[in-house]
Amino acid sequence: MRLFAAVVPPAGVLDELERAIAPYVGQVEGLRWPDRDTWHITLAFFGEVPEHVLPGLQVRLARAVHRYDALDLAFTGFGAFSSARRARVFWAGLSGDPMGRLADSVRAAGRRAGAAQTDEKRFHPHLTLARSKAETDLRPLVEALSGFSGSPWRAEGVRLVRSHPGPRVRYESLGEWALAPARQG
């Protein structure tokens, strides 16, 4: 099973993103725009995980997630990996509560359960909107969308997701765990 852990934003904020990028979808040669129903913020990518690891992974993820408060976030700005000039990934950025410690805990839970990560890069919270097989100059696209700032929203849970690859990638939720209610301060 190909698995990852993610935060899935609410429909309303995804609507805002979709409206912001709509004029640009299909306008950059070689850029593939996945279906909106696959949009998420990856906390940890586990890759291929043997089925017998799944129960332990679910238990450890539940423990890890419950230790963290819900996160107040907003989509702000767009960017590209590895750079806007030589991009293969176009993404929407996030502002608000830091997600790094949560991502580290989710990754550690995966390691302890026996789900070896294939991606140990430093965590950079983002939502991937498009990909290219070849390096592409996305500076005009990033600049055109530079003024975007989405509505605030609260991330209240983390999902374990199974990816079914193919001509049309499909995701299946294998569990979801609530973050603790955010403390009022």
Q: Where are the domains of the chain?
A: 2-178
**Exposure string for 43-65, b = 16+ CB within 10 A, e = fewer:** bbbbeebeeebbeebbebbbebb
The Cα-based distances of 63 to 43, 77, 109, 115, 173 in angstroms read 15, 32, 8, 16, 18
User: pTM for this structure?
Assistant: 0.92
> pLDDT class for 132, splitting at 50, 70, 90?
very high
Indicate the helix (H) or strand (E) that contains 17. helix 11-21
Q: What is the mean pLDDT of residues 1-29?
A: 96
Which residues are marked as active site?
Answer: 40, 126
Chain segment 24-71, per-residue pLDDT in tens = 999 999 999 999 999 999 999 999 999 999 999 999 999 999 999 999
> pLDDT class for 183, splitting at 50, 70, 90?
low
What does pLDDT average to over the chain?
Answer: 93
> pLDDT class for 121, splitting at 50, 70, 90?
confident
* CATH C-level class of 2-178: alpha beta
Whether residue 179 has pLDDT greater than 60: yes
Percent of the chain clearing pLDDT 90 (strictly above): 88
Identify whether the C-beta of residue 171 lies closer than 8 Å to the C-beta of residue 161: yes
Identify whether the C-beta of residue 24 lies closer than 8 Å to the C-beta of residue 155: no
